[in-house]
Amino acid sequence: MTSPKDQARLAFPGGGLSLDRPRVMGILNVTPDSFSDGGRFVAREDALASARNMIAHGADVIDVGAESTRPGAVPVPPEEEWRRLEPVLSEVVAMGMPVSIDTYKASIARDACRAGAVVVNDVWGLQKDPDMADVVAESGAAVIMMHNRTAADAGIDILDDIDRFFERSMTIAERAGIPAERQMLDPGIGFGKTLDQNYLVLNRLEMLAKYGRPLMVGASRKRLIGAVLSVETDDRLYGSLAIHTVAMMKGAAMIRVHNVQPHADAARIVQAIGREGLA
């Protein structure tokens, strides 16, 4: 397999995204119940202003989602999910930054790609909706395949579970005709894992390079930070920065964040450190 550094690009319509430096994905939730910023950007103008702000502060991709995936969230019917997305998606696309659609539903991914999204961020790694892989393949979009579980289990080997999950996701992608250069993997920090398992995965992150796919890590404001620092959601920026900086140092090609500017600065520092001896 080729390494993520050798691959150096995530392909999608419009030319793709070079991965020669750590990239920052800004989170735009148009949901009333997301764990961190639910309800803040439901209004169309507020959502668009947030997207413009993230772009100005250094976001490389805008990830738009209309269904909360937080633990205990109520599932949203596709019709309601698209009702939330439609007023903002095409206008965010028109801003000229690559747009990702955060959904596990094939119908939403299809409509979003038709509206201009070029990345599908699937928190179930193509394993929830049997039509998702075909939709991604036909659209030409890139796909981010995240590891997930319906519930955490302290008794399992989480690294082995991730291995088996990723092998299945990559097999599904290959069978659908999604080439390796359009695939990214996400270990799913905060999804179906205990606190110890989350930190174990982060500590062993470099082991996931064996798949020859670039990695994305998203731990922004999550409970594993609050559990260590004893702070509420809005006070988890520093913890988020710490985790994402470590992840980039361990090889993450992209980080998914709420606070774009400080993370874009951190990514630039990681990039500068990585230049040592390469001049």
Q: Which one from 236, 256, 268, 275 is the annotated catalytic residue? A: 256
Write the pLDDT tens digit of every residue in 142-190: 999 999 999 999 999 999 999 999 999 999 999 999 999 999 999 999 9
Q: What is the Cα–Cα distance from 189 to 217, expressed in whole angstroms? A: 7
Position 27 pLDDT exceeds 70: yes
Report the chain's mean pLDDT, rounded to a whole number. Answer: 92
Structure-model confidence comparison of residues 39 and 263, the more confident one:
263
Please report the pLDDT score of residue 41 as a whole number: 43
Position 53 pLDDT exceeds 60: yes
CATH no. for 4-218+249-274: 3.20.20.20
Write the pLDDT tens digit of every residue in 211-256: 999 999 999 999 999 999 999 999 999 999 999 999 999 999 999 9
Q: Which one from 105, 182, 222, 236 is the annotated catalytic residue? A: 222
Q: What is the Cα–Cα distance from 128 to 67, expressed in whole angstroms? A: 15
Paired strand residues for 186:
146
Position 273 pLDDT exceeds 90: yes
Please report the pLDDT score of residue 1 as a whole number: 37
Position 7 pLDDT exceeds 80: no
Q: What is the Cα–Cα distance from 62 to 73, expressed in whole angstroms? A: 22
Band (38; pLDDT cuts 50, 70, 90): very low
Place of tokens 């609050």: 226
For the chain, the domains span 4-218+249-274
Please report the pLDDT score of residue 275 as a whole number: 81
Q: For this structure, is 236 an active site residue?
A: no
Q: For this structure, is 256 an active site residue?
A: yes
Quick one: average pLDDT of 45-52? Answer: 94
- Token pair for residue 241? 């920065």
Q: What is the Cα–Cα distance from 120 to 204, expressed in whole angstroms? A: 26
Band (57; pLDDT cuts 50, 70, 90): very high
